[in-house]
Amino acid sequence: MAALIEAFAAKAAPTTASAAKLGVEKNGGAMTTQQLVLSLVLALMVFSVALELKLADFKRVAQTPKAVICGLIPQFILLPVGTWLATLVLDLPPNVEAAMILVAACPGGSLSNVVTHFGRGNTALSVSISAVASIIALFATPFNFGWMIATNPATAGWLRELNLDVSGLWVSLLLLLAIPMSLGLFVAHRFPALTTKIQKPLANFSLFALLAFIVIGLIKERQLLTLGLLPMLAIVTLHNGFGLFTGWITSVIMGVSERDRRAVMIEGGMQNSGLALGIIALQFNSDLGMVIIASLWGIWHIVSGMSLALWWRRKDARSANVVMK
């Protein structure tokens, strides 16, 4: 599989230092229209999510600290460390390994709350975990990405060839996460009536725009949508499955309730691949190999999350039928 991915990555994206530098010189160090649009879409999505957050979401952390901590451990410890170990063992192209590490270093995605609700998990807990994770991510994402990239010989050498500074992630997170989240919290607090009117339309628009961006990007690179893509999809599927597993095993060990366990599993398996795409656009000149991994994550974690939620709903229905009998 590693050989197939190596061949596909070589065909799909320039991974040598000279090719990467050529792309930077071509753009003159400035953002392309595509990168700017993606950044604005992601910032709008974070802004719309922040409009939904309430003070009670943060207060709930003090009321149920065990369940919230249970949801944070998979996101910021188990999935990143497991991913780092996997990249050391697997012989994958550096940009593919870098993309896996970046996705693992990102917090849970905003869709996790919707999927948790559909799967009849603890939605309030999911929202609280997402709120805390977004704040922790401002520090944990660049920290985790930095040490994992630096201690992997393949990715460390690749970054040196590209002459990239990992500390640039702080700037990306400031633009894509901190500023839009702060603005969203401010607007929600000062203008509650306006927030009620615009929150849902903005959330729907930003989600549609992000999915459209991914689909259009895949269509644009449709020559790559061959059987050669299957190994990349397999990597993403296994990676996502590991994230769900870390959520499950953590919740079992910590002994949280069934509804809480569902929320923790979804939070562990639904990473913010949109944020990863934004960072790739801003910091890695939209490296195609990295974009493919993050885009596949963005599609697959919806499939896996909704499939799991549907299975839980059917399980609840069967249990209800047994009780009625």
Residue 58 has pLDDT above 50, yes or no: yes
Neighbour tally for 33: CB within 10 Å: 7
Q: So where are the chain's domains?
A: 2-9+30-315
Instruction: Please state the separation of Cα 78 from the chain's center in Å.
Output: 15
d(CA 102, CA 9): 17
Res. 114 pLDDT band, cuts 50 70 90: confident
Res. 23 pLDDT band, cuts 50 70 90: very low
Tell me, what's the pLDDT at 253? Answer: 96
Alpha helices in the chain (DSSP H): 2-12, 17-27, 33-52, 55-63, 65-73, 79-89, 94-105, 111-118, 123-150, 153-162, 168-173, 179-190, 192-220, 230-254, 258-269, 273-283, 288-324
Q: Which CATH architecture has domain 2-9+30-315?
A: Up-down Bundle (1.20)
More confident residue, 109 or 271: 271
Mean pLDDT of 205-219: 75
Greatest mean pLDDT range, 1-10, 59-68, 288-297: 288-297
Greatest mean pLDDT range, 30-44, 86-100, 185-199: 86-100
Residue 187 has pLDDT above 60, yes or no: yes
Least confidently predicted of 82-91, 189-198, 254-263 = 189-198
pLDDT in tens, 316-325: 888 877 666 5
Tell me, what's the pLDDT at 154? Answer: 93
More confident residue, 220 or 309: 309
Give the chain's mean pLDDT: 82
Least confidently predicted of 61-65, 143-147, 195-199, 272-276 = 61-65
Tell me, what's the pLDDT at 319? Answer: 83
Characterise 25 by phi-psi region: left (phi > 0), alpha (psi -120 to 50), beta (else): alpha
More confident residue, 98 or 171: 98
Tell me, what's the pLDDT at 204? Answer: 81
More confident residue, 21 or 298: 298
Tell me, what's the pLDDT at 100? Answer: 96
- Residue 28, H or E segment: none
Res. 6 pLDDT band, cuts 50 70 90: low
Percent of the chain with pLDDT over 90: 37
Mean pLDDT of 228-257: 93
Q: What tokens does 289 get?
A: 């190999």
